[in-house]
Structures are given as structure tokens and as C-alpha cells.
């Protein structure tokens, strides 16, 4: 049985994109250890081709496989 990770979409923190276009609506996928989304574990930026999608059920982070659970997106 795999340990769970929680993922949600959040507005990007990409400084270069935000300087060029402050109104950009790109989102990153952020991984958390807990369902309350307080302990961040990793971030997949908007331009990363290998980032998880809603169909992704398992993700490898830091050489470990985790069960991926999606929570509602951040505002």
C-alpha cells in the first residue's frame, strides 16, 4: 500500500512569467503531505511536461512512489 500525497492547482510563482505578464493565469501543481494542504512537499511548474493531471493516481517524488489524491484548487 502506498502512502498518500495530496495535490492541488495553485497560481504560479514563476517570477519571469509574472514580470512579463502580471495577469497570467497559469497554475502549478503543488503536492502536500496532509489533506489540509499545510505541509508542502513539492511543486510542478506550469511549463513542466511531466506534471500530474487529474487522471494521475500514482506519482514518484524523491525516489518514492506515492498515492495521489486531489483536493479542490486554491483560489
pLDDT of residue 53: 94
Output the average pLDDT for the chain: 92
**Per-residue pLDDT tens digits for 36-61:** 999 999 999 999 999 999 999 999 99
Domain positions in the chain are 4-70
- The stretch 5-19 carries a mean pLDDT of 93
Pairing assessment for the beta strands 64-70 and 4-11 based on DSSP bridges: parallel
- Of 4, 21, 6, 9, the C-alpha closest to 45 is 9
Model pTM? 0.87
Note the pLDDT of residue 75: 64
Amino acid at each position: 500500500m502506498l502512502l498518500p500525497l495530496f495535490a492541488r492547482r495553485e497560481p504560479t510563482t514563476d517570477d519571469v512569467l509574472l514580470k512579463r505578464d502580471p495577469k497570467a493565469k497559469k497554475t502549478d501543481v503543488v503536492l502536500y503531505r496532509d489533506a489540509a494542504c499545510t505541509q508542502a512537499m513539492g511543486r510542478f511548474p506550469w511549463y513542466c511536461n511531466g506534471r500530474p493531471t487529474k487522471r494521475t493516481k500514482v506519482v514518484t517524488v524523491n525516489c518514492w512512489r506515492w498515492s495521489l489524491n486531489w483536493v479542490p484548487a486554491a483560489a
